[in-house]
Amino acid sequence: MTALSILRTGEPRIEQGFVRPHPDLELPFGIIEGAQDGPCLLVTAGVHGSEFCSIEAALRLFKLPPEEIRGTLLVLPILNVQGFRKRSIYVVPEDNKNLNRVFPGHAAGTVSKRLAAWLVESVFPLADAYLDLHGGDLNEELMPFSIFTRGDERAEAMARAFGLPIIVSGRGTGRTISAAAELGVPGIIAEVSGNGLWNDESVAMLTAGVHRVMHMLGMRGPAPEPAASSLVTMTVPSSPVQGLWYPRCRLGDKVATGQSIGEIRDVFGNLLCTITSPEDGFVLYQMTSLSVNEGEALIGIATAL
């Protein structure tokens, strides 16, 4: 295993290159070391290799002038490199696993598990705070939102500083931020854009959020204040069958408990099942793909806290 370069040399610098956690795993990294001592903020993207808006945002962080920051920004812009190259949805192609479900991983496991274990053992301990950039995958659309782990006050403060309009108070294990939290590193997931789309405006929502969190951590000067955020919980009905997905709502639509929010039909149009909302709330994200497989997340219903 090759290690990342040391984070503090005492000289402001931008260092870019590839790190090789295992012989068959190689991923790009960037280190921006500021002129003054300070915290280390870790930014990752490309856990899901086709969430291109998040990857482009992470790559643009390489252009931050070191003279303008305190501490160190450590960027791993494409964790799932094969997923990026193959434009895969959800999974790491080498083992067909969702990297964001396998943490803390296993050093002797499949590629996803080894990558997760390397992050937990060799990368997360370097960080004082952690931002994991995501978006809707190729088959999903969403309203911009961030996720923190319920009860983690430092992570909630980061989500508020990041400034996306919706903040999801979430639970869940096996994720990047839950593994980092186990090590005492507060982290959030930020989700912007979907269907693989990106442009300067959506990328800037993510880079502006990174800048605001850096300001909160004392790593750089003030960034423009974000608009107020709404705190929600999210419920995600998944598909009970394989078939064709016909959503009945648009992003932001209000829904009531028990209301039909979509149908799954077979290829001849026969109704296989009706999906109803499990809560009162609004549609935060949804699958846009006509094809759906059993167990896949169909729609995220957000409910105000």
Query: With CB under 5 A as the contact rule, which of the stretches 42-50, 146-154, 155-163, 172-180 interacts with Zn ion?
Result: 42-50
- Measured from the CB atom, the residue of 101 and 265 that comes closer to Zn ion is 101
What one-character-per-residue DSSP string does 59-79 give? HHGGGS-GGG-EEEEEEE--S
- Measured from the CB atom, the residue of 33 and 51 that comes closer to Zn ion is 51
Beta strands at 70-76 and 36-45: parallel, antiparallel or unpaired: parallel
Query: With CB under 5 A as the contact rule, which of the stretches 4-12, 41-49, 160-168, 286-294 interacts with Zn ion?
Result: 41-49
Contacts (CB under 5 A) with Zn ion, residues 44-83: 48, 51
In the complex, the smallest distance separating the C-beta of residue 88 from Zn ion, rounded to whole angstroms, is 12
- Measured from the CB atom, the residue of 192 and 283 that comes closer to Zn ion is 192
In the complex, the smallest distance separating the C-beta of residue 258 from Zn ion, rounded to whole angstroms, is 29
Spatial distance between the Cα atoms of 38 and 214, rounded to a whole number of angstroms? 10
Spatial distance between the Cα atoms of 147 and 177, rounded to a whole number of angstroms? 9
- Measured from the CB atom, the residue of 134 and 212 that comes closer to Zn ion is 134
- Measured from the CB atom, the residue of 51 and 94 that comes closer to Zn ion is 51
Residue 85 sits at the vertex; the CA angle it makes with 83 and 91, to the nearest 5 degrees, is 10
Spatial distance between the Cα atoms of 44 and 187, rounded to a whole number of angstroms? 11
- Measured from the CB atom, the residue of 97 and 134 that comes closer to Zn ion is 134
- Measured from the CB atom, the residue of 48 and 211 that comes closer to Zn ion is 48
Helix (H, G, I), strand (E, B) or coil at 305: coil
How many binding residues for Zn ion (CB under 5 A)? 3
- Measured from the CB atom, the residue of 72 and 207 that comes closer to Zn ion is 207
Are 82 and 91 in contact by the 8 Å Cβ rule? The answer is no
In the complex, the smallest distance separating the C-beta of residue 225 from Zn ion, rounded to whole angstroms, is 27
Residue nearest to Zn ion (CB): 134
In the complex, the smallest distance separating the C-beta of residue 136 from Zn ion, rounded to whole angstroms, is 8
Spatial distance between the Cα atoms of 168 and 156, rounded to a whole number of angstroms? 9
Chain-centre distance of CA 224, in angstroms? 23
Are 245 and 275 in contact by the 8 Å Cβ rule? The answer is no
In the complex, the smallest distance separating the C-beta of residue 7 from Zn ion, rounded to whole angstroms, is 26
Nearest to 75 by CA among 21, 118, 27, 30: 30
In the complex, the smallest distance separating the C-beta of residue 172 from Zn ion, rounded to whole angstroms, is 13
Spatial distance between the Cα atoms of 188 and 131, rounded to a whole number of angstroms? 5
In the complex, the smallest distance separating the C-beta of residue 183 from Zn ion, rounded to whole angstroms, is 21
In the complex, the smallest distance separating the C-beta of residue 134 from Zn ion, rounded to whole angstroms, is 3
282 Cβ neighbours under 8 A, 6+ residues apart: 252, 253, 254, 255, 301, 302
Under the criterion CB under 5 A, does residue 97 sit at the interface with Zn ion?
A: no
Query: With CB under 5 A as the contact rule, which of the stretches 78-86, 131-139, 150-158, 221-229 interacts with Zn ion?
Result: 131-139
Contacts (CB under 5 A) with Zn ion, residues 133-152: 134
Amino acid, single-letter form, for residue 247: P
Judged by the rule CB under 5 A, the positions of this chain that interact with Zn ion are 48, 51, 134
